[in-house]
Amino acid sequence: MKALALVVMLLVSGPIVSAQPVVVIVRHAEKAANGGNDPDLSSAGHARAEALARILKDSGITAIFTSEFKRTQETANALVIGHDDTIPNIVNALGINSSINIPDADYSELLIVILGDKPQLFRLHYPDDEQSR
């Protein structure tokens, strides 16, 4: 996971005209109850991934980073998709010293890190598909 954070930092730390680099980090969407160690997304998870795609569709994100698990790859659009236990390390590696704790049942976290001399964290929650209608 440290290698992933390093790659993210290298890619977003290049020269960017008129803006600080921004990294969007989310946890994978809800996973199916079956599927062993690598389950697909549940129907609620697919709905959340679609909601995330709508939220970020005009954001200009240019790179995708996921773990090797299907649930992160099925959630991904153009951002970093992690797990409740890997996201805190990614955020810390990007220079944020805040403690991040994501409850096991919470799939709504949307973390935005603005890089620079003093990185900033914006912690948001995106709605369940039913709530966004």
- Would 7 be classed as within a structural domain? yes
Tell me if 38 is assigned to some domain: yes
For residue 80, give the CATH number of its domain. Answer: 3.40.50.1240
| Predicted local confidence at residue 128, as pLDDT | 67
Q: The pTM is what?
A: 0.65
Q: Six-digit token pair at 7?
A: 């790659």
Q: Is residue 129's pLDDT more than 80?
A: no
The 10 Å Cβ neighbour count of residue 27 is: 23
- The number of domains in the chain is 1
Side-chain half-sphere exposure of 50, counting CA atoms within 13 A: 12
pLDDT in tens, 58-108: 888 888 788 888 877 777 674 788 888 888 998 999 899 988 899 888 888
Residue reference for tokens 């935005």? 112
Residue 66 domain boundaries: 2-13+20-125
